[in-house]
Amino acid sequence: MRTLLLLLPSLTLLGQTAHKPAVANFKETGSASAPITLELYTDYQCPSCRAFYMDVLPTVISKYVATGKVRLIHRDFPLPQHSYTRTATKYANAAGQLGLYDIVAAQIFRTQPDWEQNGNVDGDVAKVVPPGEMQKIRDLVKNDPHLDDTVTADLALGNQDRVGETPTLVIVRKGGQRQKIGGMVPLNVLESYLDQLLAKG
């Protein structure tokens, strides 16, 4: 554990907080009874978030989430310096209301180098969503006044957790202890850390 902490210089023990359990929604994956909850704060226009989503998250999902060891909660943390991240967030969350969150979020991260040039998130999302569903997403993006409600809640939680960069992981153990890891974490380091926590029970 001591060696691993040296490899995670930005790990912060947040201790017990008054956070309420998140309401189940499309940004949650895995068993609610998992011994560890991993809260992942990302910005769709952040290159490090893209790398984490593409290179690290698939293994975390297959090895830990799908096996009931970890519950994953995506949290939106759009950074003000990114011009199009709010648009991307709207599309992902609108897709989530239609049961298409995973495919659309993955597409948004995958095509980030394209849409960040001109903000054409719509064009890239339309490549992976059937036309009828795409129109529903567009309608939600344009007309749903509550589409940003979860973003507002995620930002509030992120501020409580003192999130200052993306990606940031907050690892929550049974009993409520919260540990924050800021920045891009290599897969092997994250696996070792999760394995150690799980071994402790």
Task: Give the residue with greater pLDDT, 7 vs 98.
Answer: 98
Tokens 């003192």 — which residue? Answer: 162
Which value, in Å, is the radius of gyration of the alpha carbons in the chain? Answer: 17
Helix axes 101-110, 85-97, angle to 10 degrees: 160
Average predicted confidence (pLDDT) for the chain = 90
Assess whether pLDDT exceeds 60 at residue 166. Answer: yes
Assess whether pLDDT exceeds 80 at residue 148. Answer: yes
Assess whether pLDDT exceeds 70 at residue 11. Answer: no
Domain-by-domain residue ranges, the chain? 2-200
Mean pLDDT across 115-134: 97
Fold of 2-200: Glutaredoxin (3.40.30)
% of the chain exceeding 90 in pLDDT: 85
Assess whether pLDDT exceeds 70 at residue 28. Answer: yes
Distance (Å, whole) CA 125 – CA 6: 40
- Whole-prediction pTM: 0.87
Chain-centroid distance, C-alpha 90: 14
Report the pLDDT value the prediction gives residue 78, as an integer from 0 to 100: 97
Q: Retrieve residue 136's tokens.
A: 């529903």
